[in-house]
Amino acid sequence: MTTYTDLNPSTRILLGPGPSMADPRVLRAMSAPLIGHLDPQFIKIMDEVQEMLRTVFQTENELTIPVSGTGSAAMEAALCNFIEEGDKVLVAVNGYFGERLIDMAQRYGAKVDRIDRPWGEVFDSAEIETALKKEKYKLLALVHAETSTGARQPEIQAITKAAHENGALVVLDTVTSLGGLPLEIDAWDVDIAYSGTQKALSCPPGLGPLTIGPRGREALKNRKSQVANWYLDLTLVEKYWGDNRTYHHTAPISMNYALREALRLVVEEGLENRFARHQKHAELLWQGLEDLGLPLLVEKDYRLPTLSTPQLPSGLDDASVRKRLLSEFNIEVAGGFGPLAGKVWRIGLMGYSSRKENVTLLLATLKEIL
């Protein structure tokens, strides 16, 4: 008979693109006793999670929920609920997750057009506006914080204005921005936004924050066909998160405990203080990387404070350096992929991982290895 040892994973310093290190308070919250998913105490927790999610998204949207699934589930929910067979969708692609938006949209029968920028660059609002005028699009989908490149898309408010003037709803990927850099859903007039818990919120992966504005809800109400994905159908899920609490699925109780505590930490710190902390530590990292001869891929004005992409010198064995970081120093960073494979590292300073001591340690170990 096979026997198995106790679970004892190493305590890693997670400085990759996600997951980030979970705050100890979040991990303690997950050990709280299970209760039923329709228990009055859990319903109160659900209310608090929704309230704090609205604060972090900077929105008053009633339909603001954590999807029971990872950020990719929230991404899919943001598309499948608003696409019907034959709908025209425009996707702005400047990295891997723009490509994924296209893949998902096509699976639901959308006719997808794309506008492209090289990985690491960002779009000008005027070029997106020009593209929007070529067809009658139902959706414009784009990434606010591209995890594959470390680039932050600016001018979101101007882009949403152009989309609305041309009759399109805006779907915004905020997976690597929520809780780590300014994100103003209502002020920018974003219709649909989704994220994940495992990055700047410093919560384990497993829930996907999602917020839907008035235009999005109206589009959902006016669908001519059923949503093609039962599990992510917001016409059903919103009844569970709404006033009636109608059964839809068994919510992941412990993950909601974790998210509640993670959001409470964000609220306690304050959004402006949190953004300033991420920016301060990112700039410390950027300077240290440049001193080591590792210039950043993205122009400074468009860099993410949550995810940095230093360019690697010719001849450097990317995989062996990262292997040494993990095996000798217990530090995880990630390599690039797609056209950036072997050319950059992806270094995350997100949430609880965004700490001066982590930056100092990483730079010291890289100096030793290099």
Task: Assign residue 261 the CATH number of its domain.
Answer: 3.40.640.10
Residues 41 and 180 in one domain: yes
Residue 3 domain-assigned (yes or no): no
Q: What is the largest CA-CA distance in the chain?
A: 67
Residue 265: its pLDDT value, please?
A: 98
Residues 287 and 103: their CA atoms lie apart, in Å, by 37
Same domain assignment for residues 162 and 198 = yes
What pLDDT is stored for residue 36 in this prediction? 94
**Pair of tokens at residue 7:** 């679970």
pLDDT score at 1: 85
DSSP state, 200?
A: T
What residues in the chain have per-residue pLDDT under 70?
none
Q: What is the pLDDT of residues 206-220, one digit of tens each?
A: 999 999 999 999 999
Contact 58, 52 (CB under 8 A): no
pLDDT per residue as tens digits for the range 110-137: 999 999 999 999 999 999 999 999 999 9
Residues 200 and 298 in one domain: no
Residues 34 and 139 in one domain: yes
For 276, the domain range is: 13-18+271-369
3-state SS assignment for residue 51: helix
Confidence (pLDDT) at 243: 83
Per-residue pLDDT, 245: 85
Return the structure tokens found at 93: 């692609």
Residue 139, in any domain of the structure = yes
- Give the whole-angstrom CA distance, residue 8 versus residue 339: 36
Phi, psi (5° rounding) for residue 230? -60, -45
Nearest to 187 by CA among 208, 164, 158: 158
What does the pLDDT read at residue 130?
98
Look at residue 250 in the predicted model and tell me its pLDDT. 92
Q: What is the pLDDT of residue 261?
A: 98
